[in-house]
Amino acid sequence: MGEISFTKMQGAGNDFILVREEDLPRALGSEIGDLARKICDRRFGAGADGLMVASCKRDGIQMRYCNADGSPAAVCGNGLRCFARYASEQQLVEEDRFVVQTDAGAKAVELLRDAAGAICGAQVEIGRPELLPYEIPALLPGSRIIDSPLNVSGLSLRVSCLKVGVPHAVVFWEQSPTEKQLCGIGRAVEHHPAFPEGINFDIAVPAGKDTFRIFTWERGAGHTLACGTGCCAAAAAARLSKRSDAAQIRLIAEGGTLTVKIEEDGNLLLSGGAQKICSGTFLF
């Protein structure tokens, strides 16, 4: 039997297990998918939407991410905010502004502090969305997939597809979905043949000026209370489909509210909270 020290954190209800690479058993090597499945299990593990591993490399601090089912993901927006706070509190970085190396490239982050000076969240760079179908990838016609028709389980959806580190399909509805609707459609969209590598699915509902409620089915994790990259995808899709022309869009997820700033060059900045839940030792 082995053991691993871990910290559990959440950002807008999206929860994560964070560990340092140096604390991993050597036998694991670079394979963390099996560990993710075990430690993220909500009955037999610590329970989380995903696992993040922090390591210090020559080009800076690195984040590796796996979903709860063990599948890797290039980046996670809510996870990146939690990772930024974890890196600071673990004394892996010294400044409030630094760069995190991810499988989706280098991401600039800035810690946010409350009036007392305590870390309460972070602003993280997600980058410019990729819109070409082969970049997502999505097997749908057109040079861009914005409000494009997609038949899913007998339903005719209008989807906007883009990649913000990871792929997302966004639909805009006038009413909030039921749990059954979100899970049924989300699962079907994730595994739709139009998306050979799977895809995350988001339903955005107008909730005031430049504000949307958002509901997410995550590839490899299922229904989650929030998704940072999903908020970024919805904000970008709202601009591209002319549902908003704002430079800053507010997204109300089931687990909390996030803000997406869209810079002039299209770069997306995600801001929101990051809270430590607990720390402990996982036996395996």
Residues with a catalytic annotation lie at 76, 227
Pair 68, 99: CB distance under 8 Å = no
DSSP string, 129-198: PB-SGGGTT---SSSSEEEEEEEETTEEEEEEEEESSSEEEEEE-SSPPPHHHHHHHHHHHHT-TT-TT-
Strands 211-218 and 200-206: antiparallel
- How many Cβ atoms sit within 10 Å of the Cβ of residue 181? 15
Residue 231 buriedness (CB in 10 A; 0-12 / 13-18 / 19+): buried
Strands 145-152 and 275-283: unpaired
State the amino acid at position 227 in one-letter form.
C
CA distance 98 to 159: 35
State CA 71 to chain mean position distance: 14
Please count the helices (runs of H) and the strands (runs of E) in the chain. Answer: 4, 18
